[in-house]
Amino acid sequence: MIARLTEEERALALADLPHWTPVDEPEGICRRFTFTDFNAAFGFMTRVAIMAEKADHHPEWFNVYNRVDITLTTHDAGGLSRRDVDLAKAIDAVAG
Ligand SMILES: C[C@H](O)[C@H](O)[C@H]1CNC2=NC(N)=NC(=O)C2=N1
């Protein structure tokens, strides 16, 4: 069972993820990505989907044309976990 981060661990993790914003309900982190067009946005989503499936950890996301809003939370932990932090870093690397 994956653990939900403590308040202290969450603060440390967020300091390391400057582009991500904490959210409540569910507890997690979110970031908006904007691309030149739908093709670029969907290419990004495809790369993230492959990574997420490999890690067995999946984003909650919403796409309209060139915009992708991502929320990361761990259902199994009932909040933010190390898996969300690792996926956020991998997503940041894919986004460039
Ligand atoms: C059975 C499977 O491993 C679990 O349901 C995984 C799948 N992907 C997941 N993704 C996310 N974001 N949180 C989870 O708790 C989670 N659990």
Q: What is the pLDDT of residues 3-62, one digit of tens each?
A: 999 999 999 999 999 999 999 999 999 999 999 999 999 999 999 999 999 999 999 999
- Which residue lies with its CA nearest to atom 9 of ligand 1? 57
Q: Which residues pair with 70 in a beta bridge?
A: 31, 61
Q: Please give the ipTM for the structure prediction.
A: 0.96
- Which residue lies with its CA nearest to atom 8 of ligand 1? 57
* Ligand 1 atom closest to residue 87's alpha carbon, by position in its atom list: 12
Give pLDDT tens digits for 36-53.
999 999 999 999 999 999
Q: Which of 5, 48, 51, 58 to mutate to test the pocket of ligand 1 (most atoms within 8 A of CB)?
A: 58
Do residues 61 and 68 make contact, with C-beta atoms less than 8 angstroms apart? yes
Q: Which two tokens stand for residue 56?
A: 């067995």
**Would strands 21-23 and 67-72 be described as parallel, antiparallel, or unpaired?**
unpaired
Residue 33: per-residue pLDDT = 98
pTM of the model: 0.97
Q: Is the CB of 56 under 6 A from ligand 1?
A: yes
